[in-house]
Amino acid sequence: MDGRYDGAHAREMLSEVFGFDSFRPGQEEVIRAIVDGSDAFVVMPTGAGKSLCYQLPALLRDGMALVVSPLIALMKDQVDAARENGIRAAMLNSAISGADRSEVERRIRAEELDLLYVAPERLSDGAFTELLDRVRVAFFAVDEAHCISEWGHDFRPDYLRLASISTHYPDAPIAAFTATATKTVQDDTIERLRLRSPFVHRASFDRPNLFYRVRRKENAPSQILDFVLARRELPGIVYRSTREHVERTAEALTEKGIAAVPYHAGLDPDTRTRHQEMFVRDEASVVVATVAFGMGIDKPNVRFVLHADLPKGMEQYYQESGRAGRDGDPAECELLYAPRDAQRARFFLSSITDEEERNRAERSLSRIIRYATTIACRKSQMLRYFGETGNEGGCGGCDVCVGEVRPIDATRDARIVLSAVYRVGQRFGARHLADVVRGSRTQKIARLGHDRIKTFGAGSEKPATYWRGVIDELVTQGYLEQTEDRFPILRLNRASRSLLAGKVNFEVSEYTARSEHNRRRTPSLKFQPADADLYEKLRALRRDLSSAAGVPAYMIFSDRTLREMSARKPASPGQLRTIYGVGVRKIDRYGAAFLDAIASFRGA
Residues 472 and 554 in one domain: no
Nearest alpha carbon to residue 179 among 323, 30, 25: 323
Q: Say which range, 25-34, 284-293, 564-573, has the weakest mean pLDDT.
A: 284-293
- Residue 242 forms part of a structural domain: yes
How far does CA 142 lie from the centroid of its chain? 20
Same domain, 333 and 422: no
Alpha carbon distance 360, 337 (integer Å): 21
- Quick: pLDDT tens for 4-45: 899 999 999 999 999 998 999 899 999 999 999 999 999 998
Q: Is the pLDDT of residue 293 over 70?
A: no
Asked if 65 and 131 sit in the same domain, the reply is: yes
Report pTM: 0.80
| CA dihedral (350, 353, 358, 361) positive or negative | negative
Least confident of 336-350, 363-377, 581-595: 336-350
Smallest Cα–Cα separation from 302: which of 290, 285, 315, 314?
285
Whichever domain contains 544, its CATH number is 1.10.150.80
Which residues lie below 8 Å from residue 324, measured CB to CB, with a gap of 6+? 210, 236, 237, 302, 303, 304, 305, 331, 332, 333
Asked if residue 412 and residue 397 are part of one domain, the reply reads: no
Phi/psi region, residue 321 (left: phi>0; alpha: psi -120 to 50; beta: rest), is alpha
Is 215 inside any structural domain?
A: yes
Q: Could you tell me if 439 and 327 lie in one domain?
A: no
Per-residue pLDDT reduced to its tens digit, 511-535: 765 544 444 445 556 566 678 899 9
How far from 151 is each of 131, 148, 195, 315, 361, CA to CA, in Å? 33, 9, 18, 11, 10
- What is the C-alpha to C-alpha distance for residues 316 and 209, in angstroms, rounded to an integer? 19
The CATH number of whichever domain residue 465 belongs to comes to: 1.10.10.10
Burial of 549 (0-12, 13-18, 19+ CB in 10 A): middle
- Alpha-carbon span 360 to 378, nearest angstrom: 22
Residues 573-597: what's their mean pLDDT?
94
DSSP 442-506: -HHHHHHTGGGSTTTTTTTTS-HHHHHHHHHHHHHTTSSEE--SSS--EE--HHHHHHHTTSS--
Reduced to 3 states (helix: H, G, I; strand: E, B; else coil), residue 145 is helix
| Cα(80)–Cα(555) distance, integer angstroms | 8
**Averaged pLDDT score across all residues of the chain:** 88
Do 195 and 270 lie in one domain? The reply is no
Is position 524 within any domain? no
Lowest mean pLDDT, pick from 133-137, 291-295, 447-451, 544-548: 291-295
Q: Using an 8 Å Cβ cutoff, are 237 and 322 in contact? A: no
- From CA 293, how far away is CA 297, in angstroms rounded? 8
- 300 vs 329: CA distance, rounded Å: 9
| 545 pLDDT more than 90 | yes
Contacts for 399 with CB less than 8 Å, ≥ 6 apart:
212, 213, 214, 378, 405
- Compute the chain's Rg from CA coordinates: 27
524 burial level (CB within 10 Å; 0-12, 13-18, 19+): exposed
Residue 487 has pLDDT above 80, yes or no: no
**pLDDT reported for residue 525:** 62
With a CB cutoff of 8 Å and minimum separation 6, the contacts of 509 are 216, 373, 375, 405, 406, 407, 408, 469, 473
pLDDT value of position 102: 94
For the residues 446-456, what does the mean pLDDT come to? 94
Q: Are residues 502 and 556 in the same domain?
A: no
Tell me which of 518 and 568 has the higher pLDDT. 568
CATH code where residue 316 lies? 3.40.50.300
- Please write the tens of the pLDDT for every residue from 177-212: 998 778 888 999 999 999 999 999 998 889 999 999
Confidence (pLDDT) at 576: 95
- Say yes or no to pLDDT of 153 above 60: no
What is the residue type of 60?
L
* Residue among 314, 386, 313, 308 nearest 346 (CA): 313
- Per-residue pLDDT at 494 exceeds 70: yes
The answer to whether residue 358 is domain-embedded is: yes
- In the three-class reduction of DSSP (H, G, I as helix; E, B as strand; rest coil), residue 94 is classed as coil
Quote the distance between the C-alpha of residue 426 and its chain's center: 41
Question: Which of 409, 382, 410 lies closest to 213 in space, CA to CA?
Answer: 382
399 and 311: one domain? yes
Total domains, the chain: 4
- Coil/strand/helix, residue 513: coil
Co-location of 536 and 506 in the same domain: no
Instruction: Select from 153, 181, 202 the last residue of a domain.
Output: 202
Whether 1 is covered by a domain: the verdict is no
Q: What residues contact residue 4 under an 8 Å CB cut-off, 6+ apart?
A: 35, 36
Query: Does any domain span residue 523?
Result: no
Q: CA separation (Å) from 218 to 224, 351, 468, 472? A: 11, 28, 9, 11
Q: Same structural domain for residues 413 and 400?
A: no
Question: Of the residues 372, 404, 436, which one is the last residue of a structural domain?
Answer: 404
What whole-number distance in Å separates Cα of residue 27 and Cα of residue 34? 11
User: Can you give the pLDDT at residue 523?
Assistant: 55
Residue from 191, 187, 38, 68 nearest 129 by CA: 68
Q: Is residue 226 one of the residues assigned to a domain?
A: yes
Question: Given this model, what pLDDT does residue 451 score?
Answer: 93
Of residues 399 and 77, which shows the higher confidence score?
Answer: 399
The 10 Å Cβ neighbour count of residue 354 is: 9
Backbone phi, psi, residue 57, to 5°: -60, -30
Structural domain for 596, as ranges: 532-603
What's the maximum distance between 2 C-alpha atoms anywhere in the chain?
Answer: 89
Last residue of a domain, one of 352, 375, 404: 404
Query: Quick one: 22 and 39 in the same domain?
Result: yes
pLDDT at 295: 53
520 assigned to some structural domain:
no
Per-residue pLDDT for 169 more than 60?
Answer: yes
Percent of the chain, pLDDT > 90?
58
Asked whether residue 175 carries a pLDDT value surpassing 90, the answer given is: yes
Three-state SS for 586? helix
Q: What does the CA dihedral 146, 148, 150, 153 come to, rounded to 10 degrees? A: 40
Asked whether residue 38 falls in the same domain as residue 154, the answer is yes
Q: DSSP of 400-414, one letter per residue?
A: TTTTSEEEEE-HHHH
Three-state secondary structure call for residue 335? strand
When pLDDT is cut at 50, 70 and 90, the band that residue 392 belongs to is low
Rounded average pLDDT over 369-376: 87
